[in-house]
Chain A
Amino acid sequence: MRIALALAAIVIATSFYGVSVFAHHSFAAEFDVNKPITLKGNVTKIDLVNPHSWLYIDVKDADGKVVNWAIEMGSPNGLIRRGVSKTSVPVGTEVTVEGYRAKDGSATANGTTIKLPDGKQLFAGSSAPGAPGGEPNR
């Protein structure tokens, strides 16, 4: 119940978030627009760091092997101003991530949307366009 409430708070807090996003580096230097990807897994860690926050999720592949993926989001500063902190996303939370793979083939992706099981969108700042997060420049 507590976890559901905590997650609900984040969804509400960020649902009106502006869509202006910014990466300190060029998207194309690292990620491949031709390699979109969908990942479903459980959160192992969230690091609210600059220049990008990172969400780590355990994803089970077709063979049942678990790979830990690193999902890049935007700067956490705007989220911090909205009350998001390192305890906001409990370990084990199931999420579905849509994004773009890193060019180097590692288990790394730039996250466009991160959805909870009920379909609501978790904050997902990223370098990709149309994604909420990062710091809107008013």
Chain B
Amino acid sequence: MIAIALGILLLAQNYTAPRTPDGQPDLQGIWQVRNTASWDLQDHTGGYKIPAGLGVVEGGEIPYLPSALAQKKKNFENRLTEDPVEKCYIAGVPRTMYLPFPFQILQTPDAVVIASEYVHTWRWIPITPLARYEGYESWLGDPRGHWEGNTLVVESVGFNDQTWFDHVGNFHSDALKLIERFTRTAPDTLTYEVTVEDPKVFSRPWKMRMPIYQHKDMTRVLEDECYLNAEDAGKPIRGGHPEDRGTPAAPQKER
């Protein structure tokens, strides 16, 4: 039995991803995780609306600055209403990659597109150099990719502070910087590794790592239009600045 496991391990280590006809490592296909990182990145037993699972954090600990712990606690206590995914908001990066929804990877020589089933989220990762718009902030960040051997390396900055890493409230600030690494380590497996850096929240960079598995039964991802479904069910999600929610207006000069 040990010999078989070792054999499989050796085979996996000898695997090299096929190349596209244009010469890049081929990561294309429809992919989805089998873990529960979207609920909790760390080792966790089952809880209310949280399936059990093993953690994906290298070393197990997420190195929060002491000043950030209060926010983490607040997030956890309010997770049922404040988790952005509970509000059907864009899940951000890297959480979009480990949501319980499939995503598709498509490649050209110049770019990699990642298209998720969850709220029609798409990421366009240019492989050729492209300057960023200064001051631009977004839910998914502003990615730039390049190949290192068989690995797609994606560096992203330009995040807003609105997304969480998981349902239990692991979070970041707008200073977030991510480096993602995608490597096809078996015919139906991507190994996905993320280095997280955020000096406003964490005392040092930290990493997560997980396998992502290929779907063999689908020609496309479908649609999860979460907030539209909520509206259909009579539970619309309305955002807005608290100050403009039906504040009666004082009399003003009308022209």
Query: Which residues does A use to contact B, with CB under 8 Å?
Result: 35-39, 45, 47-48, 54, 56, 59, 61-63, 65, 67-70, 80-81, 83-88, 98, 101, 104-108
Checking A48, A61, A85 against B134 with a beta-carbon cut-off of 8 angstroms, the contacting residue is A85
Mark out the residues of chain B between 112 and 151 whose CB falls within 8 Å of any chain A CB in the assembled complex. Answer: 133-137
The stretch among B38-46, B218-226, B247-255 that forms the contact with chain A is B247-255
Assess A56 versus B252: contact at CB under 8 Å? Given A83-B135, A86-B135: no
A35, B254: Cβ atoms under 8 Å?
yes
* A107 lies within 8 A of B134 (CB): no
- The interface residues of chain B lying within 8 Å CB-to-CB of A108 are 244, 247, 249
- Establish whether residues B133 and A80, one from each chain, have CB atoms under 8 Å apart when the complex forms: yes
Across the interface, do A98 and B252 meet the contact criterion of CB distance under 8 Å?
Answer: no
On whether the beta carbons of B255 and A38 are closer than 8 Å, the reply is: yes
Q: A36-B255, A85-B135, A85-B136 are in contact. Are A54 and B250 (CB under 8 A)?
A: no
- Return chain A residues, CB-CB under 8 Å to B248: 105-107
Assess whether B135 is in contact with A38, with CB atoms less than 8 Å apart.
no
How would you classify the secondary structure of chain B's contact residues: helix, strand, loop or mixed?
loop
**Least distance between A99 CB and chain B CB atoms (Å):** 10
Q: How far is the CA of A11 from the CA of B75 in the complex (A)?
A: 39
The answer to whether B249 and A107 touch across the interface, beta carbons within 8 angstroms, is yes
Alpha-carbon distance A70/B246, docked complex (angstroms): 11
Complex Cα gap A61–B253 (Å):
9
Task: Check B247 against A106 for contact (C-beta < 8 Å).
Answer: yes
**Cross-chain contact A107 with B251 (CB below 8 angstroms):** no
Contact of B241 among A35, A45, A63 (CB under 8 A): A45
8 chain-A/chain-B pairs, Cβ below 8 angstroms: A38-B252, A48-B137, A61-B252, A85-B134, A86-B137, A87-B135, A101-B249, A107-B244
Shortest CB distance B149–A (Å): 35
Tell me the chain B residues, 136-172 only, with Cβ under 8 Å from chain A: 136-137
With an 8 Å Cβ cutoff, the count of chain B residues facing the other chain is 19
Whether B241 lies near A37 (C-beta < 8 A) is: no
Q: Is B217 an interface residue (CB 8 A)?
A: no
Is B243 an interface position by the 8 A CB rule?
yes
Question: Is B252 touching A37 in the complex (CB atoms < 8 A)?
Answer: yes
One of B247, B253, B254, B255 near A107 (C-beta < 8 A): B247
Q: A61-B250, A84-B135 are in contact. Are A98 and B255 (CB under 8 A)?
A: yes
Q: Would B249 and A106 count as touching, CB distance under 8 A?
A: yes
- Contact of A38 with B253 in the complex, beta carbons under 8 Å: yes
Q: Give residues of chain B (204-243) contacting chain A, Cβ–Cβ below 8 Å.
A: 241, 243
Chain B residues near A38: list those with CB within 8 A.
Answer: 252-255
Q: Nearest Cβ in chain B — how far from A53, in angstroms?
A: 12
Q: How far apart are the CA atoms of A108 and B243 in the complex, in Å? A: 10
User: What is the CA–CA distance of A85 and B245 in the complex, to the nearest angstrom?
Assistant: 25
A56 touches B241 (CB 8 A): yes
Cα–Cα, bound, A101→B255 (Å): 12
Q: Shortest CB–CB separation between residue A85 and chain B, in angstroms?
A: 3
User: Is B254's CB under 8 angstroms from A106's CB?
Assistant: no
